[in-house]
């Protein structure tokens, strides 16, 4: 790992407060731009990646808009070089990474952060990776005090914090149910496409990792927290067709519920895509089926990835027209609430914002004492909601009865 001069002043034994790994990728550069615009003046942060020349180009683009970034430290590390990852983790208090697919490139960095006691953040939506890192690294992270927080972008911040926000509007100490309904108008990048195709083609590995996690994870005593896959239905609450979403998001919500007593003695969460018309619902289901089928054939999967490579993404103009809304219906103790989390471009602009604010939250905010693999709601909860609200993401109660 190579650093610039002037980075030897340490806080808490580390040279940096926040390091962004993968800063030369599409979402990585957006996250760097957000940090350049919003990181506090006393935040000591750096860009990290494999290619020094590309890092310098990113820094030059940042410095053209924010001259104070002209001397931003650059750190070289490779996801396949264990030594460089351990150096990187040891240099910072918080390490945020956008380098995916994480099932291929992520484990070494989680291991390094768990060993160094460094807080780790990523953007993964890959259930296999999350389950595998829990089995391999949760225990060591608890010993060193590291917080391993996966899914700090659109996967799964709006859903995890939205369910947490909804629960806070309901009575305590009673069984609770929450349903989430997701709508978005956006397109995805090459990196997201690669991650999705990778997951579609690894069904057996996903099931095996989930089984291993269940063997290691302690069981709840006298409480239940679950996220069953719902059935397709017409939702009278939202006036749309609701299609069950078998993504990482409901698993994250259920893990927050298992860790926090505020979710009550018996908590259930269901997660849906919200579609206005039946033909759109049928078409979306068919498209997912085609994608899953194509991903089973390695040659087809490689060809599809080559057509839309990581590093590509929608233009600023297209992102400016993008949006997302997640509506929640929560019930319990005789009360029913309707809440909403909404914002702009979900996969890129808002994801970069969520990752950057999560990193700053871990670095600077007073938070509950946690360690090991934890969710955003458990690690940051109210503090991160406050940050995201201040940054323009809306959390609101639409109705209560």
Where in the chain are the domains? 16-153+352-379, 157-345+393-400
Other C-beta atoms within 10 Å of 204: how many?
Answer: 9
Q: Give, for all 401 residues of the chain, the pLDDT tens digit.
A: 444 333 333 456 899 999 999 999 999 999 999 999 999 999 999 999 999 999 999 999 999 999 999 999 999 999 999 999 999 999 999 999 999 889 999 999 999 999 999 999 999 999 999 999 999 999 999 999 999 999 999 999 999 999 999 999 999 999 999 999 999 886 655 555 555 556 666 788 999 999 999 999 999 999 999 999 988 999 998 899 999 988 899 999 999 999 999 999 999 999 999 987 665 555 555 455 444 444 455 654 454 555 555 556 788 898 999 999 999 999 999 999 999 999 999 989 999 999 999 999 999 999 999 999 999 999 999 999 999 999 999 999 999 88
| Of residues 51, 101, 54, the one with CA closest to residue 78 | 51
Distance of CA 143 to the CA centre of its chain: 24
| E strands, 176-332, in order | 176-185, 224-226, 233-235, 240-244, 266-275, 323-332
The CATH fold of domain 16-153+352-379:
Rossmann fold (3.40.50)
Check: CB of residue 351 under 8 Å from CB of residue 368.
no
- The burial of 50, by beta-carbon neighbours within 10 Å (0-12 exposed, 13-18 middle, 19 or more buried), is given as middle
Task: Copy the structure tokens of residue 170.
Answer: 């309901």
| Of residues 21, 157, 17, 16, the one with CA closest to residue 98 | 21
Q: How far is CA 191 from CA 101, 125, 198, 312, 368, in A?
A: 7, 12, 11, 7, 33
Task: Copy the structure tokens of residue 395.
Answer: 């959390």
3-state secondary structure of 198: helix
Q: How far apart are CA 99 and CA 209, in angstroms?
A: 21
Helices marked H in 273-380: 278-295, 298-307, 316-320, 349-364, 376-379
Q: How far is CA 182 from CA 69, 101, 179, in A?
A: 37, 23, 10
| Domain 157-345+393-400 annotated CATH 3.40.50 | no
Check: CB of residue 51 under 8 Å from CB of residue 24.
yes
**Which residues, in sequence order, are CB contacts of 283 under 8 Å at separation 6+?**
none
pLDDT at 161: 98
What's the pTM value of the predicted model, to 2 decimals? Answer: 0.90
Q: How far apart are CA 109 and CA 121, in angstroms?
A: 10
**Is there a shared CATH topology between the 16-153+352-379 domain and the 157-345+393-400 domain?**
no
pLDDT at 16: 98
Q: How far apart are CA 364 and CA 360, in angstroms?
A: 6
């Amino acid at each position: 790992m190579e650093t610039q001069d002037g980075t030897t002043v340490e806080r808490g034994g580390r040279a940096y407060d926040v390091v962004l790994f993968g800063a030369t990728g599409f979402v990585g550069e957006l996250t760097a731009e957000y940090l350049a615009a919003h990181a506090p003046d006393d935040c000591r942060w750096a860009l990290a990646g494999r290619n020094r020349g590309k890092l310098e180009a990113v820094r030059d683009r940042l410095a053209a808009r924010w001259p104070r970034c002209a001397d931003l430290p650059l750190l070289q590390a490779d996801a396949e070089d264990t030594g460089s990852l351990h150096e990187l983790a040891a240099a910072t208090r918080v390490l945020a990474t956008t380098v995916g697919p994480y099932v291929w490139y992520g484990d070494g960095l989680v291991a390094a952060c768990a060993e160094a006691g460094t807080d780790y953040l990523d953007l993964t939506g890959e259930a296999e990776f999350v389950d595998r890192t829990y089995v391999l690294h949760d225990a060591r992270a608890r010993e060193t005090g590291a917080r391993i927080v996966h899914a700090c972008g659109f996967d799964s911040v709006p859903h995890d914090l939205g369910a947490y926000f909804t629960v806070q509007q309901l009575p305590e100490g009673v069984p609770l149910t929450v349903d989430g309904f997701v709508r978005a108008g956006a397109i995805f990048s090459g990196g997201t496409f690669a991650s999705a195709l990778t997951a579609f083609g690894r069904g057996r590995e996903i099931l095996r990792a989930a089984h291993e996690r269940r063997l290691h994870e302690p069981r709840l005593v006298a409480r239940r927290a679950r996220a069953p896959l719902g059935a397709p239905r017409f939702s009278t609450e939202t006036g749309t067709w609701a299609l069950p979403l078998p993504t990482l998001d409901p698993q994250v919500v259920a893990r927050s519920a298992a860790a926090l007593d505020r979710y009550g003695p018996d908590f259930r969460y269901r997660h849906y895509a919200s579609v206005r018309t039946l033909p759109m619902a049928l078409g979306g289901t068919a498209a997912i089926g085609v994608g899953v089928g194509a991903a089973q054939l390695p040659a087809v999967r490689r060809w599809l990835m080559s057509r839309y490579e990581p590093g590509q993404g929608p233009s600023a103009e297209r992102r400016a027209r993008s949006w997302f809304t997640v509506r929640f219906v929560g019930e319990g103790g005789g009360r029913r609430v309707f809440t909403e989390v909404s914002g702009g471009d979900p996969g890129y602009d808002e994801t970069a914002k969520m990752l950057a604010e999560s990193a700053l939250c871990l670095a600077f905010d007073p938070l509950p004492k946690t360690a090991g693999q934890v969710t955003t709601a458990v690690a940051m909860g109210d503090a991160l909601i406050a940050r995201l609200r201040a940054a323009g993401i809306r959390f609101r109660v639409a109705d209560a009865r």
